[in-house]
Amino acid sequence: MTGWKIIDRAKDAKGQFAIEPQDAHDSCGFFAFANGASFRPMTLGDLDEVMAIERASFAYPWSSRFFLQEFQVECARSILVEIDGKIIGYVLFWLLPEGVDIHNLAVRSEYRRRGIGRTLLEQVILEALRRSSVRVTLEVRKSNLAAQKLYESAGFVATGIRRAYYSDDGEDALTMALDLAPSAQR
Protein backbone atom coordinates (compact mmCIF):
# COMPACT_ATOMS: atom_id res chain seq x y z
CA MET A 1 0.00 0.00 0.00
CA THR A 2 1.52 3.26 -1.04
CA GLY A 3 -0.30 5.74 1.19
CA TRP A 4 -3.54 7.55 1.38
CA LYS A 5 -3.49 10.43 -1.03
CA ILE A 6 -7.23 10.71 -1.39
CA ILE A 7 -8.74 10.55 -4.84
CA ASP A 8 -12.20 11.58 -5.96
CA ARG A 9 -14.83 9.02 -5.13
CA ALA A 10 -18.27 9.79 -6.42
CA LYS A 11 -21.34 7.98 -5.20
CA ASP A 12 -23.25 6.19 -7.90
CA ALA A 13 -26.94 6.66 -8.62
CA LYS A 14 -27.94 4.46 -5.70
CA GLY A 15 -25.75 6.44 -3.33
CA GLN A 16 -23.31 3.58 -3.11
CA PHE A 17 -19.61 4.21 -3.21
CA ALA A 18 -17.78 3.34 -6.37
CA ILE A 19 -14.51 2.29 -4.82
CA GLU A 20 -11.23 2.56 -6.61
CA PRO A 21 -8.28 2.41 -4.25
CA GLN A 22 -5.28 4.39 -5.32
CA ASP A 23 -3.32 1.20 -5.84
CA ALA A 24 -6.17 -0.83 -7.31
CA HIS A 25 -4.26 -1.28 -10.51
CA ASP A 26 -1.86 -3.71 -8.91
CA SER A 27 -4.48 -5.43 -6.76
CA CYS A 28 -5.89 -8.43 -8.59
CA GLY A 29 -7.99 -9.33 -5.58
CA PHE A 30 -9.76 -6.03 -5.79
CA PHE A 31 -10.70 -6.43 -9.42
CA ALA A 32 -11.90 -9.95 -8.71
CA PHE A 33 -14.89 -8.62 -6.79
CA ALA A 34 -15.22 -4.90 -7.35
CA ASN A 35 -17.74 -4.97 -10.14
CA GLY A 36 -20.48 -6.73 -8.24
CA ALA A 37 -19.80 -5.27 -4.80
CA SER A 38 -21.77 -2.56 -3.11
CA PHE A 39 -21.38 -0.88 0.24
CA ARG A 40 -23.95 0.41 2.69
CA PRO A 41 -24.45 0.84 6.44
CA MET A 42 -25.59 -2.15 8.49
CA THR A 43 -29.24 -2.15 9.61
CA LEU A 44 -31.18 -4.16 12.16
CA GLY A 45 -32.55 -6.34 9.35
CA ASP A 46 -29.01 -7.52 8.56
CA LEU A 47 -28.40 -8.91 12.00
CA ASP A 48 -29.16 -12.60 11.33
CA GLU A 49 -26.83 -12.72 8.33
CA VAL A 50 -24.18 -10.69 10.13
CA MET A 51 -24.37 -12.95 13.19
CA ALA A 52 -23.79 -16.01 10.99
CA ILE A 53 -20.58 -14.42 9.65
CA GLU A 54 -19.60 -13.23 13.14
CA ARG A 55 -20.03 -16.70 14.70
CA ALA A 56 -18.09 -18.34 11.88
CA SER A 57 -15.29 -15.77 12.12
CA PHE A 58 -14.45 -15.51 15.80
CA ALA A 59 -13.84 -17.95 18.65
CA TYR A 60 -15.45 -15.34 20.88
CA PRO A 61 -18.00 -13.61 18.65
CA TRP A 62 -19.94 -10.50 19.54
CA SER A 63 -23.46 -11.32 20.69
CA SER A 64 -26.44 -9.91 18.81
CA ARG A 65 -27.06 -7.79 21.93
CA PHE A 66 -23.63 -6.28 21.50
CA PHE A 67 -24.43 -5.36 17.89
CA LEU A 68 -27.74 -3.87 19.02
CA GLN A 69 -25.92 -1.78 21.62
CA GLU A 70 -23.55 -0.60 18.93
CA PHE A 71 -26.52 0.66 16.88
CA GLN A 72 -27.43 2.91 19.83
CA VAL A 73 -24.04 4.59 20.02
CA GLU A 74 -24.18 7.96 18.36
CA CYS A 75 -20.63 7.99 17.03
CA ALA A 76 -20.81 4.35 15.83
CA ARG A 77 -20.77 3.69 12.09
CA SER A 78 -20.80 0.51 10.02
CA ILE A 79 -20.11 -0.48 6.47
CA LEU A 80 -21.37 -3.70 4.91
CA VAL A 81 -20.18 -5.10 1.66
CA GLU A 82 -22.60 -7.13 -0.43
CA ILE A 83 -22.24 -9.09 -3.62
CA ASP A 84 -25.44 -9.97 -5.43
CA GLY A 85 -27.45 -9.08 -2.35
CA LYS A 86 -25.44 -11.38 -0.09
CA ILE A 87 -23.58 -9.84 2.84
CA ILE A 88 -19.95 -10.87 2.62
CA GLY A 89 -18.28 -8.62 5.15
CA TYR A 90 -18.59 -5.70 7.48
CA VAL A 91 -16.66 -3.25 9.55
CA LEU A 92 -17.81 -1.29 12.59
CA PHE A 93 -16.04 1.77 13.88
CA TRP A 94 -16.45 4.85 16.03
CA LEU A 95 -15.90 8.41 14.95
CA LEU A 96 -14.16 9.98 17.92
CA PRO A 97 -12.71 13.48 18.30
CA GLU A 98 -9.21 12.03 18.45
CA GLY A 99 -9.70 9.81 15.40
CA VAL A 100 -11.48 6.78 14.06
CA ASP A 101 -11.43 3.58 16.11
CA ILE A 102 -12.21 0.26 14.42
CA HIS A 103 -14.17 -2.17 16.59
CA ASN A 104 -15.02 -5.13 14.40
CA LEU A 105 -14.16 -6.40 10.95
CA ALA A 106 -15.00 -9.71 9.34
CA VAL A 107 -15.27 -11.24 5.89
CA ARG A 108 -17.27 -14.37 5.05
CA SER A 109 -14.74 -17.19 4.99
CA GLU A 110 -15.33 -18.28 1.40
CA TYR A 111 -14.68 -14.71 0.17
CA ARG A 112 -11.39 -14.16 1.98
CA ARG A 113 -8.07 -13.27 0.28
CA ARG A 114 -9.83 -11.34 -2.46
CA GLY A 115 -9.10 -7.87 -1.13
CA ILE A 116 -12.44 -7.42 0.60
CA GLY A 117 -11.06 -6.88 4.09
CA ARG A 118 -8.62 -4.33 2.71
CA THR A 119 -11.37 -2.58 0.78
CA LEU A 120 -13.50 -2.33 3.94
CA LEU A 121 -10.50 -0.82 5.69
CA GLU A 122 -10.09 1.61 2.82
CA GLN A 123 -13.69 2.66 3.28
CA VAL A 124 -13.01 3.46 6.92
CA ILE A 125 -9.85 5.35 6.03
CA LEU A 126 -11.75 7.37 3.44
CA GLU A 127 -14.33 8.25 6.05
CA ALA A 128 -11.53 9.33 8.38
CA LEU A 129 -10.01 11.49 5.65
CA ARG A 130 -13.39 13.05 4.87
CA ARG A 131 -13.66 14.02 8.51
CA SER A 132 -10.08 15.28 8.59
CA SER A 133 -9.25 12.68 11.22
CA VAL A 134 -5.54 12.24 11.62
CA ARG A 135 -5.50 8.74 13.02
CA VAL A 136 -7.23 5.39 12.66
CA THR A 137 -6.74 2.99 15.57
CA LEU A 138 -7.69 -0.56 16.49
CA GLU A 139 -6.96 -3.48 18.78
CA VAL A 140 -6.28 -6.95 17.49
CA ARG A 141 -5.68 -10.21 19.32
CA LYS A 142 -2.02 -10.97 19.66
CA SER A 143 -2.66 -14.39 18.12
CA ASN A 144 -4.59 -13.03 15.11
CA LEU A 145 -1.72 -12.88 12.69
CA ALA A 146 -3.94 -12.83 9.58
CA ALA A 147 -5.67 -9.65 10.73
CA GLN A 148 -2.35 -8.11 11.75
CA LYS A 149 -1.01 -8.81 8.26
CA LEU A 150 -4.06 -7.18 6.75
CA TYR A 151 -3.64 -4.05 8.88
CA GLU A 152 0.08 -3.90 8.16
CA SER A 153 -0.67 -4.19 4.45
CA ALA A 154 -2.87 -1.10 4.80
CA GLY A 155 -0.12 0.86 6.52
CA PHE A 156 -1.02 0.33 10.18
CA VAL A 157 1.84 -0.02 12.64
CA ALA A 158 1.89 -1.65 16.06
CA THR A 159 1.78 0.94 18.84
CA GLY A 160 1.62 -1.16 22.00
CA ILE A 161 0.19 -4.07 23.93
CA ARG A 162 -2.89 -4.06 26.18
CA ARG A 163 -2.40 -6.88 28.65
CA ALA A 164 -5.40 -9.19 29.22
CA TYR A 165 -7.53 -6.85 27.09
CA TYR A 166 -10.06 -9.49 26.04
CA SER A 167 -12.32 -10.35 28.95
CA ASP A 168 -13.45 -13.69 27.42
CA ASP A 169 -10.09 -15.44 27.58
CA GLY A 170 -7.70 -12.80 28.89
CA GLU A 171 -5.68 -12.59 25.69
CA ASP A 172 -3.49 -9.54 25.15
CA ALA A 173 -4.36 -7.04 22.44
CA LEU A 174 -1.91 -5.48 20.08
CA THR A 175 -2.80 -1.84 19.46
CA MET A 176 -2.25 -0.59 15.94
CA ALA A 177 -2.61 2.80 14.33
CA LEU A 178 -2.53 4.42 10.94
CA ASP A 179 -1.47 8.06 10.93
CA LEU A 180 -3.00 10.00 8.09
CA ALA A 181 -0.43 12.59 7.10
CA PRO A 182 -1.83 16.07 6.43
CA SER A 183 -0.54 15.78 2.87
CA ALA A 184 -2.86 12.80 2.39
CA GLN A 185 -5.90 14.97 3.02
CA ARG A 186 -5.52 17.32 0.09
Ligand X SMILES: CC(C)(COP(=O)(O)OP(=O)(O)OC[C@H]1O[C@@H](n2cnc3c(N)ncnc32)[C@H](O)[C@@H]1OP(=O)(O)O)[C@@H](O)C(=O)NCCC(=O)NCCS
Q: Which residues bind ligand X (CB under 6 A)?
A: 29, 57-58, 105-107, 112-118, 140, 144, 146-147, 149-150, 153
Measured from the CB atom, is 122 or 127 closer to ligand X?
122
Residues 151, 165, 166, 171: which is the catalytic one? 151
Q: Can you list the pairs that 9-15 forms with residues at least 24 positions away whose Cβ atoms lie under 8 Å?
A: 9/126, 14/38
Judged on CB neighbours under 10 Å (0-12, 13-18, 19+), 55 is middle
49 catalytic residue (yes or no): no
Q: How far apart are CA 72 and CA 107, in angstroms?
A: 23
Smallest separation (angstroms) from ligand X to the CB of 109: 7
60 is catalytic: no
Minimum CB–partner distance for residue 62 and ligand X (Å)? 11
Question: Least distance to ligand X from the beta carbon of 110, Å?
Answer: 10
Measured from the CB atom, the residue of 111 and 128 that comes closer to ligand X is 111
| Active-site residue, selected from the candidate residues 111, 139, 166, 171 | 139
Beta pairing partners, 79: 91
Give least dist CB 149 to ligand X, A: 3
Cα separation, 45 vs 144, whole angstroms: 29
Q: Which residues contact 15 (CB under 8 A, 6 or more apart)?
A: none
User: What does the DSSP 8-state code read for residue 162?
Assistant: E
Active site members: 139, 151
